[in-house]
Structure 1
Amino acid sequence: MTDLPIFAVLPDLLAALRTGSNAVLVAPPGAGKTTAVAPALLGEAWCTGEVLLLSPRRLAARAAAERMAALAGESAGGTYGYATRMDSKRSAATRVTVVTEGIFVARIQADPELTGVSAVLFDEVHERSLDGDFGLALALDAQGALRPDLRLVAMSATLDGGRFSRLLGAAEQGAPVIESEGRSYPLALRYLGRSGDGRIEDAMASAIRQALREAEGGVLAFLPGVAEIERTAERLEGLPETIRVHHLHGSMEPAAQRAAIRPEPDGARKLVLATGIAETSLTLDGIRIVVDSGLARRPRYDRAAGMTRLVTERASQAAVT
């Protein structure tokens, strides 16, 4: 665990928070920021209360809490807990609570002073959501008017560090920006293409079978939604018993989500059919191959209907990468 790239810059982050209230942390995927920063704060003299770690997704919130608890030799609900819609594990002993952005907004509106909270960490802040932006605005307001001792940290893999530095810093100077080099591995990219009049499930099933034949290791396949995952799984029936097929999306039971994330206990090969929920804040063990449909389902505001609806559209090359 201590060989993660984030540990090289943690001393700089801790030093910045000893002398100031806010900081910006830029750390690429795999650096370890989600599970390493909050535990490091607990030993600081100023951190006498709770640390809130904001996660954009329920699955990622629960996984982060369980991972930190496991590293500490505990179960979730002890020193490390989580609180999401319809699911929570925390106790009087909890020092770090991973919460979704909506839960944080509700909490700070009910208690603008954030009583008993020493720090708020905004993970994956670049994803930009209404609850995320609103929560950050409320936290800055609380810090300026009620809690000058409250520490705020904006964390992301692809963050505009200068912009958030100015947002979190004083008028004359921005908040310090700490950057981790991260740890990435070389990728061999292959574009297969597909017929415009064919179904995406057929193309994905064919690509996944090809990947399983031509390469070793686990496979993570990205599809735009739950319906596409289920239809692709139907087309993959008959795979060898040594390949375990998992679904991964937000509406699944927690036990099934955990099974998709953790390594196979008997060393079997893993195939995970996932929505974009697996793009950030999660690390899936044993994955060597990624098959991406090139499609994503995103919320778009319909001006005619006056409401937001989900739209399936082509994913950008940057998002796929």
Structure 2
Amino acid sequence: MAELPIYSVLPNLLSALGSGPNAVLVAPPGAGKTTTVAPALLAQPWCTGQVLLLSPRRLAARAAAERMAELAGEPVGQTIGYSTRMDSKTSAATRVLVLTEGIFVNRIQADPELAGVSAVLFDEVHERSLDSDFGLALALEAQCAFRPDLRLLAMSATLDGARFAALMQGAPVIESEGRSHPLEMRYLGRRGEQRIEDGMAQAIRTALRDEAQGDVLAFLPGVAEIARAAERLESLGSGIAVLPLHGTLTPAEQRAAIRSDPDGRRKVILATSIAETSLTIDGVRIVVDSGLARRARYDPLAATTRLVTERASQAAATQRAGRAARQGPGVAYRLWEEAATGGLPPFDPPEILDSDLAPLVLQCAAWGESDPTRLNWLDPPPAPLLAEARKRLVALGAVDTGGAITPLGRSIAALPLPPHLAAMLLKGAQAGSAMQAAEIALLLQERGLGGQGDDLD
């Protein structure tokens, strides 16, 4: 681990957090920030409590905790633990707790002073998830009102540190070099009429034939395309292990995709965008990129969120290609023409600009803030989406016309569900159908079972 680039800037980072409450760390993928910074804080004089490390995805949270525990020579759940939706390993001895952003929002709502917490680290803030933006806004409020000693660190893989620094009261920005390995780009193109799983299977076979060594990480837009691509690769033979990697797999299935094959086979990992950042997958030297991503888009007129397949952004394509060169020289195969790269959108838009804001408005009301725009945002929530969200919450009886939370709203906000599903669950329980309502809520909430736009049948 001594060769990780993050070690060269760690003294500067520790000095910044020793003399002030906030800092911003800009470190490219592979620099080692996710698994190195949090344990390094434990020896600091000001760090007498827990360090919370926020991760955008359950898979990344578990993998980061397991890797840090392995480096510490301990099982997960002792000094290093994690807490995600429906899965956690932690104990009274846990000093570094990796948790998903939504769980952090619930925790700070329940305890605004964050008692027993010395630092909160926001990892992969460049992804701009709604929970990350909201969690940072609440943490800044808590720091100002209750905990001037609380350390807040924003960690980004892109050079957008100046905006976060301004948001965090002029925090110093520390920049780390990335780990530099040669990366070769190969553009294959794809016929417009060709199904994406056919094009990907063909490209994966080409990569396995042309590259004598290394595992393949292939990016597809969704679970259905992964399943169909796997069917087309069934004839690769016993020397190749084809493994899916997406958010609806069990932790054991996800670990199998991330870790080296126990039988020494080459792996072909068929992944969604879940594998773009946060964790290093051992053995990957080849990336095959479809150039597509599936994203949730909110339609305020229909008050529904749909999953749509779009072109990946330039930033996402760069992240994906870089996965091939994290541990050594790599090659990235792209299913588009080189000239088309400039036509990709530069970045993924922040979720706060294109999401259902009803959960945010309700959580702000539970926090005691009837006007979310008064919080500290990198990008403030759009007024039309806020107005539409308030209208629906008033209709549910969760907030009053002035935006203050009601007793029913507090019951709704206490459940780890979107407001409309939480209200359905409470009304179902009142009608004597609590179990049926809970099963429906689970199906509608969990992506891949029926959530975020898939048909419930």
Determine the structure 2 residue equivalent to 1:218. Answer: 215
Shift in Å at residue 159 of structure 1? 4.0
Determine the structure 1 residue equivalent to 2:30. Answer: 30
Q: Which has the larger radius of gyration?
A: 2
Q: Distance in 1 between matches of 2:66 and 2:23?
A: 25
Q: Does 1:187 align with 2:146?
A: no
After the TM superposition, which parts of structure 1 deviate over 3 Å for at least 4 consecutive aligned residues?
none
Give the SS at the match of 1:311. Answer: strand
Q: Distance in 1 between matches of 2:305 and 2:57?
A: 18
Determine the structure 2 residue equivalent to 1:260. Answer: 257
Give the SS at the match of 1:220. Answer: strand
Determine the structure 2 residue equivalent to 1:140. Answer: 140
Q: Does 1:236 align with 2:233?
A: yes
Please, which of 191, 196, 204 is the counterpart of residue 192 of structure 2? 196
Is the 8 Å Cα contact of residues 233 and 242 (structure 2) preserved in structure 1?
no
User: What is the 5 A alignment of 1:284-303?
Assistant: 284-303=281-300
Q: Specify every segment of 5 or more residues in structure 2 that has no aligned partner in the other structure, as ranges.
A: 319-457
1:199-236 CA-to-partner distances (Å, cap 9, x unmatched) read: 11111000000100010211000000000000000000
Give the SS at the match of 1:189. Answer: strand
Q: Distance in 2 between matches of 1:79 and 1:133?
A: 28
Q: Distance in 1 between matches of 2:232 and 2:216?
A: 16
1:38-64 CA-to-partner distances (Å, cap 9, x unmatched) read: 000000010000000000000000000
Q: Distance in 1 between matches of 2:71 and 2:100?
A: 21
Determine the structure 2 residue equivalent to 1:277. Answer: 274
Q: Distance in 1 between matches of 2:42 and 2:159?
A: 25
Shift in Å at residue 140 of structure 1? 0.3
Shift in Å at residue 259 of structure 1? 1.0
Q: Does 1:63 align with 2:63?
A: yes
Give the SS at the match of 1:154. Answer: strand
Q: Distance in 2 between matches of 1:246 and 1:198?
A: 23
Which one-letter code corresponds to 1:153 in the other structure? L
Q: Distance in 2 between matches of 1:294 and 1:86?
A: 32
From the two aligned structures, give the one with the greater strand fraction: 1
Give the SS at the match of 2:153. Answer: strand
Determine the structure 1 residue equivalent to 2:121. Answer: 121
Determine the structure 2 residue equivalent to 1:87. Answer: 87
Give the SS at the match of 2:171. Answer: coil
Q: Distance in 2 between matches of 1:206 and 1:162?
A: 43
Is the 8 Å Cα contact of residues 26 and 177 (structure 1) preserved in structure 2?
yes
Is the 8 Å Cα contact of residues 24 and 155 (structure 1) preserved in structure 2?
yes
**Alpha carbon RMSD of aligned pairs, Å?**
0.9
Shift in Å at residue 240 of structure 1? 2.1
Shift in Å at residue 245 of structure 1? 1.2
Number of matched residues? 317
Shift in Å at residue 316 of structure 1? 2.3
Q: Distance in 2 between matches of 1:180 and 1:51?
A: 21
Shift in Å at residue 76 of structure 1? 0.7
Determine the structure 2 residue equivalent to 1:250. Answer: 247
Determine the structure 2 residue equivalent to 1:167. Answer: 167
Which one-letter code corresponds to 1:241 in the other structure? S
Q: Distance in 2 between matches of 1:319 and 1:59?
A: 18
Is the 8 Å Cα contact of residues 125 and 159 (structure 1) preserved in structure 2?
no
Give the SS at the match of 1:120. Answer: strand
Which one-letter code corresponds to 1:214 in the other structure? D
Give the SS at the match of 1:238. Answer: helix
Q: Specify every segment of 5 or more residues in structure 1 that has no aligned partner in the other structure, as ranges.
A: none
From the two aligned structures, give the one with the greater helix fraction: 2
Q: Distance in 1 between matches of 2:19 and 2:314?
A: 40
Is the 8 Å Cα contact of residues 217 and 269 (structure 2) preserved in structure 1?
yes
Which one-letter code corresponds to 1:288 in the other structure? R
Return the TM-score normalized by structure 2: 0.68
Is the 8 Å Cα contact of residues 5 and 182 (structure 1) preserved in structure 2?
yes
Higher relative contact order (CA 8 A, sep 6+): 1
Shift in Å at residue 71 of structure 1? 0.4
Give the SS at the match of 2:75. Answer: coil
1:58-102 CA-to-partner distances (Å, cap 9, x unmatched) read: 000000000000000111101000000100000000000000000
